[in-house]
Amino acid sequence: MLRLTDDEKSMLDGRAGEARQKAMDLLVRYAEALGAERFVDTRNVAGVPGSANPFLQQYYAGKGADGLDAIFSFFDLDSDELVEIPDALVPTYHLQGGADPRQWQTLGVRVDVFRNYQEREAFAARHDVNILKTCTPYLAGNLPARGEHCAWMESSAVIFANSVLGARTNTEGRESTSAAMLTGKIPDWGLHRPECRFGTHRIDVDVEVESVMDWGMLGYFAGEAVQEHIPVVIGRFGAPEIVRLKHFGAAASSSGGVEMYHIVGTTPEAESVEMAFGRNRPAERFVYGKAERRQVYDRLNANASDPNVDFVMLGCPHAAIDQLREAATLLEGTRVSANCHLWIFTSRAVDSEARRLGYVKTIADAGGVVITDTCSAFAQAIPPGTKVAALDSAKQAHYLPAILGVQAWFGSTHDCIAAAVTGRWRGERP
């Protein structure tokens, strides 16, 4: 039975304005669907408020009136009437979406669609939404503290916030984050509650896990093994490293629905095996060894057969500054093959730093392009005529063939850059 506080009742009664009434009504319907008993207060919202892909742009064209916003009213708030949208009540951050304001033509975005993206971005900015435009808010200025209640979308960011940072968020959606932006409320359910954060399944790793590629494969294995549960990963690992954990989590949240994991000795709620499991007994135990690693590699490369690579895409999740440095170093003095394109996706914040450091120029001099705001899978954008892609992200390898029908090779960043330069895939099966 859902219980509301006085300020929640007041919003639901409409005393805080129509939009907050609609937002609270949606959150109440959502909390009741979950079976939640109360809300938590949040001051950290990451979503895509008011954004619109071409379908939504067209669907809602002309449906606003008197300066009121149809997309935010009808879609974000699931309201049956147009309402005036107030500014964000709590700090709110825009995740990836739309198109790079510099490289939108490279992405093949039509001019009318791009203008509309700009209008939607301006709408969000007018309502005090920070325009991070990235799937990695934690690398671009939104770093929640341990224990902080958040309302985040983006599965790879949610799993990072819960597992690596110890912040608390479920995988929220478009509508719940937009409603949280106006109310500072989100259902107290699931990962907001300490008793729901303990591990449920055990994964023993008895193979070396070192590179970004290794961590991506282990993450993909973990997601397939535990689906939407909470794996406790036990093995002998080197020092924790942000980029590797970013790729591990992105993969686990794509092959399964993992929203939180523990790596014993690495992540903050897993100083020991006992601490990671709490009162839970592992429901199942999995072993990740050489055979399992090979199976994951084969699965990620299952639809690729043509070694002639015409597109290399890096930056899923968005590249950290260190990854752009690595790409620039590998590309220095070389040239991307005339038969191949190289796109590297990152956030505006990291792009701006990479420009200052000269990485963007080094990559451009070699024939590659650094692109912000989106990625190939999200924007459904690949160079015209692409048949065979090469990727260093298990998450992107999971999505891109399904979305765009291309072949996709998965391998190391080094394999991918080599493929961009030679136009041939020579990645080695581990």
Partner 1 sequence: MTVSATIVLRGRGVVGGRAAGEALVTRDAIPGWGGVNPQQGVITETHHELRGKSFKDKVLVFRGAKGSSGWSAMYHTARLAGAAPRALVFNEMTTKVALGAVVMHVPSVTALDRDPLDLIETGDWVVVDGDAGIVEIHKHRSQPSCPPSAGPQGQDDVRTQSDDQVDALPG
Closest CB 78 distance from partner 1, rounded Å: 5
| 345 lines the binding site for partner 1 (CB under 8 A) | no
- 6 by Cβ neighbours in 10 Å (0-12 / 13-18 / 19+) ranks as exposed
Residue 2-41 contact track with partner 1, rule CB under 8 A, x = bound: ------------------------x--xx--xxx------
Residue type, 99: A
Closest CB 268 distance from partner 1, rounded Å: 22
Query: Could you tell me the CA-to-CA distances from 115 to 85, 100, 224, 342, 345 in Å, in that order?
Result: 21, 12, 40, 26, 21
Identity of the residue, 250 or 324, whose beta carbon is nearer to partner 1 in the bound complex: 250
Cα distance between residue 278 and residue 316, in whole Å: 33
β-pairing, 185-187 vs 39-41, is antiparallel
Cα distance between residue 28 and residue 35, in whole Å: 10
Per CB under 8 A, the list member of 19, 70, 139, 140 interacting with partner 1 is 70
| 81 lines the binding site for partner 1 (CB under 8 A) | yes
| 154 lines the binding site for partner 1 (CB under 8 A) | yes
Per CB under 8 A, the list member of 254, 267, 323, 393 interacting with partner 1 is 254
> What is the separation, in whole angstroms, between the first and last Cα of the chain?
52
Closest CB 335 distance from partner 1, rounded Å: 33
Number of residues located near partner 1, criterion CB under 8 A? 48
Residue type, 367: G
Task: Name residues whose C-beta falls within 8 Å of residue 148's C-beta, 6 or more positions apart in sequence.
Answer: 44, 167, 168
DSSP 306: -
Q: Are the C-beta atoms of 70 and 57 separated by less than 8 Å?
A: no
Identity of the residue, 226 or 324, whose beta carbon is nearer to partner 1 in the bound complex: 226
CB atoms within 10 A of CB 280: 15
Residue 101, preceding peptide bond in cis (omega within 30° of 0): no
Per CB under 8 A, the list member of 68, 131, 403, 406 interacting with partner 1 is 403
Of the candidate spans 147-155, 325-333, 338-346, 358-366, the one that interacts with partner 1 by CB under 8 A turns out to be 147-155
The candidate with the shortest Cα–Cα distance to 256, out of 226, 213, 282, 216, is: 226
Of the candidate spans 53-61, 210-218, 331-339, 411-419, the one that interacts with partner 1 by CB under 8 A turns out to be 53-61
Of the candidate spans 197-205, 315-323, 396-404, 417-425, the one that interacts with partner 1 by CB under 8 A turns out to be 396-404
* Token output for 59: 């669907």
| 406 lines the binding site for partner 1 (CB under 8 A) | no
The candidate with the shortest Cα–Cα distance to 392, out of 247, 254, 187, 282, is: 247
202 beta partners: 232, 285
CB atoms within 10 A of CB 162: 28
Per CB under 8 A, the list member of 173, 235, 265, 430 interacting with partner 1 is 173
Cα distance between residue 109 and residue 398, in whole Å: 23
Identity of the residue, 266 or 347, whose beta carbon is nearer to partner 1 in the bound complex: 347
Cα distance between residue 203 and residue 83, in whole Å: 49
Per CB under 8 A, the list member of 38, 43, 174, 294 interacting with partner 1 is 174
Strand, helix or coil at 299? Answer: helix
Question: Which residues between 205 and 234 bind partner 1 (CB under 8 A)?
Answer: 227-228
| 68 lines the binding site for partner 1 (CB under 8 A) | no
Cα distance between residue 111 and residue 105, in whole Å: 8
Query: Could you tell me the CA-to-CA distances from 298 to 301, 316, 331, 408 in Å, in that order?
Result: 5, 20, 28, 12
Closest CB 219 distance from partner 1, rounded Å: 14
Closest CB 202 distance from partner 1, rounded Å: 20
| 171 lines the binding site for partner 1 (CB under 8 A) | yes
| 196 lines the binding site for partner 1 (CB under 8 A) | no
Identity of the residue, 52 or 209, whose beta carbon is nearer to partner 1 in the bound complex: 52
| 112 lines the binding site for partner 1 (CB under 8 A) | no
Per CB under 8 A, the list member of 199, 216, 368, 401 interacting with partner 1 is 401
> Which residues in this chain contact partner 1 in the complex, by CB under 8 A?
26, 29-30, 33-35, 55-56, 59-60, 63, 70, 73-75, 78-81, 152-155, 158, 170-176, 187, 189-190, 227-228, 253-254, 256-257, 302-303, 377, 398-399, 401-403
